[in-house]
Amino acid sequence: MAGDHVRVRAPGRVNLIGDHTDHTGGLVLPAAIDLETVVEGQRGGAEVVLRSDGDPEVAVVPLAVADPAEVAPGWARYVAGVVVEARPPEGFTGTVTTTLPLGGGLSSSAALEVALVLSLRPDLGDALSVARLGQRAEHRATGVPCGIMDQLASAGGRAGHALLIDCHTLAVEPVPLPDDLDVVVVDSGQARRLEGSPYAERAAQCRAAEAVIGPLREAPPGTEVAIADPVVRARARHVLGENARVRAAATALRGRDHALLGALLRESHASLRDDFAVSTPTLDALVGRLAAAPGVWGARLTGAGFGGCVVAVAERGALDEWGPETWWRVRPSDGATVEVR
């Protein structure tokens, strides 16, 4: 209601394994984390007005906004995307703060979208409805054909667990993360934006593969040999192998088989580098250094690639002295929460 003071926190996410599978309806294994975005303010008025600690320019978005892509500054496009999709009955004035690295591959944009959805439309209480709206908002804001993983992990995270998500059926199965396993995220220092990146091209190549062998989510590894185009074949090989690796990683977590989990992460990075071509020399070098560190089971790029962060799984405390890069030991978090007073 107008005049309500609202505080919404929405976590980022780290994807342990399963990248570039969600937009083909495949399997992913992310966890919401204890780095988050907070939207706080009051409902009312005919505009959404937000000040961010990450950008000096204020976002001012009228409720009647038509095209989010034309809104400035750039970060306000995400606000406008949510406004267009949510069609809230009233505006909002407040602030945005975050502990997430922007452009780091930890879903700062999805956390913002989820927090905004719940600020403007508190009636959308279930995680899936919130995630779907946030995903549509990102499509409108950026034109990037992202899957639903980021928004669903942020909205529906569970403390102490990763989420095994089937991005076709949208079934979510919590998978416990062992207490003796550190999940460490290291910032490569190479910022990236999916808008303007080859992300859409990769998604189109996956659709081209499906035109030959059918839905990639259903095809077993090896089916890609029927694809004549070597680039499209490589893209499909990654997705088919990655879906299998996600299943195996969930099994490894349940069985506390850290060595197998680490091997799967290393294989995933190699596939993202060689078959999907979304890694960079900076990411490759960082993954190599981490994988060679004592006590580290495995490492890989996390998120869509083209820069951003690397995730490593390690024995407790093994990376406590890591440097010089910025790093975080992340803990699996509950999903977004709302306080109204």
Of the residues 19, 22, 150, 182, only one is catalytic, namely 150
Residue 150 annotated to the active site? yes
Whole-structure pTM value: 0.94
Q: Domain residues of the chain, as ranges?
A: 5-176+333-340, 181-330
Q: Which residues contact 254 (CB under 8 A, 6 or more apart)?
A: 175, 176
Q: Which residues contact 58 (CB under 8 A, 6 or more apart)?
A: 49, 50, 51
Q: What percent of the chain has pLDDT over 70?
A: 98
Residue 197 CB neighbour total at 10 angstroms:
16
pLDDT tens digits for 307-319?
A: 999 999 999 999 9
Distance, CA of 244 to CA of 237 (rounded, Å):
11
- What torsion, rounded to 10 degrees, do the Cα atoms 171, 303, 18, 217 define? 70
Fold of 181-330: Alpha-Beta Plaits (3.30.70)
Query: How many Cα atoms within 13 Å fall on the side-chain side of residue 60?
Result: 4
75, pLDDT greater than 90: yes
Closest CA to 189 of 18, 293, 324, 332: 324
pLDDT tens digits for 115-135?
A: 999 999 988 879 999 999 999
Closest CA to 72 of 62, 60, 84: 60
Q: CATH number of the domain at 5-176+333-340, out of 3.40.50.720, 3.30.230.10, 1.20.1640.10, 3.90.950.10?
A: 3.30.230.10
Distance, CA of 139 to CA of 147 (rounded, Å):
10
For 278, the enclosing helix (H) or strand (E) is none
Look-up of token digits 């502990």:
99
Distance, CA of 139 to CA of 136 (rounded, Å):
5
pLDDT of res. 2: 63
Distance, CA of 95 to CA of 65 (rounded, Å):
20
pLDDT tens digits for 284-313?
A: 999 999 999 999 999 999 988 999 999 999
Look-up of token digits 């000040």:
51
Q: What is the largest CA-CA distance in the chain?
A: 61
Pair 114, 65: CB distance under 8 Å: no
Which two tokens mark 135?
């995903």
Which two tokens mark 184?
């460490």
Task: Look at 194 and 17; give whichever has higher pLDDT.
Answer: 17
Distance, CA of 341 to CA of 339 (rounded, Å):
7
The phi, psi pair for 78, rounded to 5°, reads: -65, -40
